[in-house]
Amino acid sequence: MYPVPLSVIILAAGKGKRMLSEIPKVLHNVRGVPMIFSVIKNALELEPEKLIVVLGYKSTEIKKAISNRQDLKDLDFAYQKKQLGTGHAISVALPNLEEISGDVIVLSGDVPLLSSKTLKKLLKRHRKGNYFATMLTTVLKDPTGYGRVLRGQEKKNKILGIVEQKDALPEELQISEVNTGTYVFRIEFLRKYLPKLRKNNAQNEFYLTDVFKMAISDKMHIGSVLIENAKEAMGVNTLEDLKKLEVS
């Protein structure tokens, strides 16, 4: 156990329309294992005090699949009845952390190859830098569909924010560094900023990434870790994505 309390929230509420399947997206197999199982097992290697899985679409089916596994125990579940964005998903999970302080890692249930080694590196950077929030980024040859990481011109390492694909300007779409959807936050940071989220965007959703914009505006200390193996951080949105992850 880390000296500072650690919790984990795994987002697994999405329907996955582009999978063109009745099977919940996170229950599709990658390398013979349902995606959500791989994500949970890697998270458990961090020995969190609490691990919360946020469910929505076909929640009963996913919960049953997880509960049938003897090696995936001591989990909490939260329910996102309406798909109102990643910020809203974290909001429905936070009550499970009411009496807990410390840090929380946020993972996506459809990013199955992200290793516990990378997560430990992210957590170490977050704590060593004394950051309020830290994001995992990578560089893609084709960043289509991913949120772009905005950095300052003068101080290249200074993060200015994250812009989602549908909200990006033409010049911002040329950026190859992307947000992987994996973060570490101080829990009190989320309690402060999540209630301030608004749906002023193209998708009419509460973006979790907007907390970075607010933190930067308030001159709070935030950080990032660049993962060189982009495939490890690749999410699954289509059957074609599944095939790509099957190839070593």
Q: Among all residues, which ones are annotated catalytic? A: 18
Alpha-carbon span 172 to 164, nearest angstrom: 10
Within 10 A of 36 (CB to CB), how many other CB atoms are there? 25
Within 13 Å and on the Cβ side, how many CA atoms surround 150?
17
CA distance 19 to 145: 15
Is-contact 186 195, C-beta < 8 A? no
Please, what sign has the CA dihedral across residues 185, 186, 190, 193?
negative
| Nearest C-alpha neighbor of 242 from the set 43, 15, 12, 33 | 33
